[in-house]
Structure 1
Amino acid sequence: MMKTARRSAVIVALVSLFVQLFIPVSMALAASMNNTKVADWRNTWHLHLFNGLHWTDEGMWMKKVDGKVAFCVEHGVDLDMSGSGYNPSTYSDSKKDQLAKIAYYGYYQNPTNRNYAVTQMIIWETLGDSLLTTPNKTYQSEKKAILDKVAAHDCKPSFNGKQITLAVGDSITLTDTNGRLAAFAQQTANTANLKITKSGNKLTLTATAQSKESGKVAYAIAKAADVGTSFVYTKGSQQKLVNFKLSNNGEFSLPIKVNLNGNVKARKVDADTNRALPGAKLKFEYNGATKEVTTGTDGYAA
């Protein structure tokens, strides 16, 4: 009897495993959606997906798929108020990078209900819809502010990529003439272990005894959580929804070299007059190597 029970349990387990192996991946990953009203704006449009059909929005609605905020990319297509069975796949529209930046600067960087509504409208316009009327009197200025940030996303500080060489105890202050440094809030690297001060458009780097001989300093605009793959969620004939991610974090970097042994500056002067002696030969030895240099007109080894 015990053997029969054990055999039955094994068979049940094998059948369960077999069923799980053959469940489509899309079913295993299927997500749930809910739709929440975030603004009472009654906007009117011409929809590009429906050959310019005149359309009226009865409010603005925020979509969330498995708790992640998503945006509508098929304005006018039917969408239930909630439901399950939404299947994710990589979003590959030709405008995806532009749309991801709009979503980031319009909403994800400062997530409020109003910002979601404004951002959704900009996304629809970017995809080809024509806005006719809106009760939001500041929409155009809000849109311009967001699109200005989108346009500047790939612009780096003026000193991006500059080779920085310091001796222990030395500092250098870099001034960003592009006016972009303040946007780079995320420090992503300091592998030379410099002391760093960042204020406005000025970046000050100082080498200390704890610094390393080489490395890099890097800053990014966006956090790691905002970068990745944009996913589109689909369910039959329901409207497609996209959770956007930036394709890059907008990072800039500076290669660093540190002279951990410091610098030596030698000057040859006359013992009696204390005046500089140009043309004098000086010999230096360092790390097993010998180098002969000639003093310049100021007496310093050139």
Structure 2
Amino acid sequence: MIKKVKTLALVLGVLLGTLTGIIFQKTPKVVFADSGTLQKRESGVTPYAEFRHKDASRNTWYEGGHILFINGEVVICLDPTTYAYEVGYAGKEFSDVEELATSSGRRYKIDTDLQLTLALVSYYGYQQNPNDLNYHFTTWIGYELLGWDIQTVSNGATLEQYQVFKADVMAKVNGYKDNPSWHNGTYTVKIGEHITLTDTYNVVQNLIIPSEINGFVTSLNGNQLTLTPTKEATTGKIKFIQPFIQGVHGLSIIYRSEGSQTVSKLRISDPQYASVNINVIKNGNIKIVKTDSETGQPLSDVEFGVFEHDSDTPLKTGVTDGNGVLEFTDLDSKTFDIKELRTKETYRLNDKVYSVSVPAGETVTVNATNVVKKMRISVSKHLDTALDGSGTRAAGSGITFDIVSLNTHQVVSSMLTDANGYAISEELRQDDRYQLVEHTPEGYQSTEPITVEPTGEDGKIYHYIVENNAKKSYVQIVKVDEDTGETIKASGVSFQLFKDGQLVSQQVTYPSMQTIDTFTTDENGQVTLPQQLTYGTYTLKEVKAPTGYVLSDKPLTIDITGEDTLVTVRFKNAAQKGIIALSKTGQVLTSWQTDANGVHTPVYQDQLIGGATFQLTNVNTGKSFTVTTQAGQVLRTPELDLGEYDVVEVSAPKGYMTDNTVYRVSLTPQAQSVRLDVKSLSVYN
């Protein structure tokens, strides 16, 4: 950096200042000394400026050719009228009032306020953004603070550019505070609350704010510091300080060398700091946790009051939240009574008084429970029709009922009816809905589950009468031919029905009220029992067969499950059959007889002869078939349907004449126990 004067007088003044090295100090005490050689580095920019002191008649000019250093640290020029040489310098700590003399013979003072201002200018002007142009502009601001006014700016910089820079730096300098706006203030806060301190000086952002200090939890948001006391917090002073920044904080050193300009390392002496006085009020709290006495689940919307001990007037009231929690805060450190004022509709009110001593600054937890209101379910069980067919309404004993929670869909209880058909459950919770589900006894129709809606009345018994209808079905008996499967359309066929060996009887009302135990088919060969049969196994026996059929000796089993409205039973009968026993006889030469004269005479006898073929024709159907006799045997036809048959010989054995006579044979129904009608036919040739 080169300073030049435009007049000889100014040059002489510089020489005089160099020779005399006049240094005026108001305070001779030296706290810190330093020395070093001034060094220069060429500047990347070389702005030119001219200054004039208020007492001068000519300008001093500044050519920014170099950046100055001592011991590797940047130094700022304090004398615009003297040239800076790369020579040894002696340095010392600034006095409270530092007096300087320029080479022109002017004297000026730097007191502690100006010293701080110069240090802040150095900090905001150069140290926060250390580039070469900022170095020159910062030096110029220092000149102006020492009494020189800037006149012109050129060579890569403008006066307007400088003035903008200066205005920004001086705004920061003028706004600088050692402490926040709330420094040394006194505040009061309660445990469980917090205070927020707003710093209008914007200092607090520069301080070290630990997350917790002296029992306070801290939070910094911009210029707002929030302090939240924990139960360990105590009344007292809390202090904060800015971290010490090397090169920013410390001692400001002024360097002199005879015949060379005066320079300095400018520092802010102490970091910013703050203290605040906090008065902590340690009131206590009572936390109520409300749960179900059985399940441990939290209970919401239960109202409590906090009372002075032995008082009936609540100080505060509140209701538990969704987690079953209610907290009464900011209570004096003494004994209070906690009383339950209102509970949920399905619970019994807890009338216990909880006496609670509240320590200062602490929270006492009260665990309170409620017993849910209870209820029971009872049933009277009836079976409306006994399965024995008696029609008697019987008590349903030994029948299980399950009680199902509609909240959980799980069985929560079961009960078994006694000999009178009565059962009652154990105690159940009123805060649920239930279904009463029967284990249906065998042979009876299931009942629909009964939904039980509790009304909230404690101890109530919900009674239900449950009746079962026996499973029943109508029975239709259809008479069918065993061979063809066709319905035998014959009336008068009779049946009897047995259950467990007992004859079953039923009532009919038409044409008059009467009890019958024999059931007879109509002209369609069918009969439907007049009344339904109840669940069980029955035996059907035929007592009269249709004409032309054999009475069945095979009882038929009928299972009534109640699943079908009508059960159709097809009762089979074997049709009676007929056989024609055909005898074909004729004379057969059996031997020769010789008389006294020696004459041989044949001997014939009537015998069954074979080889004769007969045609048999069913008169009703016209169907025919043939059979052929065997010698010495009576021919038996296959079993034939009952009816009339025409029998005629169609072929005689050799040596015999054919008998063309048509013989009609009738095969007729016999007694029910007789299976075959056998008719004999003899034909002689």
TM-score > 0.5, shorter chain as reference: yes
State the partner residue of 2:255: 233
Alignment CA distance shift 1:120-1:188 (3 Å)? farther
Q: Is the 8 A contact 2:54 2:149 kept in 1?
A: no
Q: How many residues align?
A: 249
Q: Distance in 1 between matches of 2:333 and 2:213?
A: 35
Q: Distance in 2 between matches of 1:225 and 1:59?
A: 23
Are 1:208 and 2:215 matched, yes or no?
no
Counterparts of 1:58-77 in structure 2, within 5 Å, are 58-77=63-82
Alignment CA distance shift 1:268-1:107 (3 Å)? same
Q: Is the 8 A contact 2:241 2:271 kept in 1?
A: no
State the partner residue of 1:53: 58
Counterparts of 1:166-177 in structure 2, within 5 Å, are 166-176=189-199
State the partner residue of 2:89: 86
SS in 2 for 1:256: strand
SS in 1 for 2:170: helix
SS in 1 for 2:284: coil
Counterparts of 1:97-136 in structure 2, within 5 Å, are 97-134=116-153, 135-136=157-158
C-alpha displacement of 1:232: 0.8
C-alpha displacement of 1:191: 5.1
Find 1:251's aligned residue among 266, 273, 277: 273
State the partner residue of 2:564: none
Summarize deviations over 1:225-280 as a string: whole Å, max 9, x none: 53332111111111111001123434332123445x5536975499667578xxxx
SS in 2 for 1:64: strand
Q: Distance in 2 between matches of 1:158 and 1:124?
A: 31
Are 1:194 and 2:216 matched, yes or no?
yes
Bigger fraction of residues in strand: 2
Q: Is the 8 A contact 2:207 2:242 kept in 1?
A: yes
State the partner residue of 2:175: 152
Summarize deviations over 1:170-207 as a string: whole Å, max 9, x none: 3222233x2x2266412278752522111112111122
Bigger fraction of residues in helix: 1
C-alpha displacement of 1:131: 1.1
SS in 2 for 1:161: coil
State the partner residue of 2:187: 164
Letter in 1 for 2:151: L
Alignment CA distance shift 1:55-1:29 (3 Å)? closer
Alignment CA distance shift 1:152-1:88 (3 Å)? same
Letter in 1 for 2:284: N
SS in 1 for 2:129: coil
Letter in 2 for 1:131: I
Q: Is the 8 A contact 2:215 2:234 kept in 1?
A: yes
Alignment CA distance shift 1:274-1:258 (3 Å)? closer
Q: Is the 8 A contact 2:90 2:256 kept in 1?
A: yes
Letter in 1 for 2:225: L
Q: Distance in 2 between matches of 1:72 and 1:257?
A: 50
Q: Is the 8 A contact 2:125 2:135 kept in 1?
A: yes
Q: Is the 8 A contact 1:224 1:249 kept in 2?
A: no
Summarize deviations over 1:86-137 as a string: whole Å, max 9, x none: 1111222223222122112212233333322221110011111121111234
Q: Distance in 2 between matches of 1:273 and 1:257?
A: 32
Q: Distance in 2 between matches of 1:206 and 1:145?
A: 37
Are 1:42 and 2:47 matched, yes or no?
yes
Find 2:284's aligned residue among 241, 245, 263: 263
Summarize deviations over 1:135-190 as a string: whole Å, max 9, x none: 234211110111111111137544222223444443222233x2x22664122787
Q: Is the 8 A contact 1:153 1:250 kept in 2?
A: no
Q: Is the 8 A contact 1:86 1:233 kept in 2?
A: yes
Letter in 2 for 1:141: V
Q: Distance in 2 between matches of 1:164 and 1:203?
A: 13
Alignment CA distance shift 1:188-1:78 (3 Å)? farther
Q: Distance in 1 between matches of 2:189 and 2:81?
A: 60
Alignment CA distance shift 1:42-1:114 (3 Å)? closer
Greater Rg, structure 1 or structure 2? 2
Higher relative contact order (CA 8 A, sep 6+): 1
Find 1:139's aligned residue among 162, 170, 188: 162
Letter in 2 for 1:159: W
State the partner residue of 2:202: 181
SS in 2 for 1:125: helix
SS in 2 for 1:35: strand
Q: Unaligned 5+ residue runs, structure 1?
A: 1-24, 277-281, 286-302
C-alpha displacement of 1:31: 0.6
State the partner residue of 1:297: none
SS in 1 for 2:41: strand
Q: Distance in 2 between matches of 1:36 and 1:49?
A: 31
Find 2:37's aligned residue among 32, 35, 42: 32
Q: Distance in 1 between matches of 2:62 and 2:71?
A: 25
Q: Distance in 2 between matches of 1:283 and 1:206?
A: 20
C-alpha displacement of 1:49: 9.7
Letter in 1 for 2:84: L
Q: Tell me how large the CA RMSD over aligned residues is.
A: 3.6
SS in 1 for 2:277: strand
Q: Is the 8 A contact 2:307 2:314 kept in 1?
A: no
SS in 2 for 1:120: helix
Q: Unaligned 5+ residue runs, structure 2?
A: 1-29, 99-109, 287-305, 317-331, 336-685
Q: Is the 8 A contact 1:73 1:241 kept in 2?
A: yes
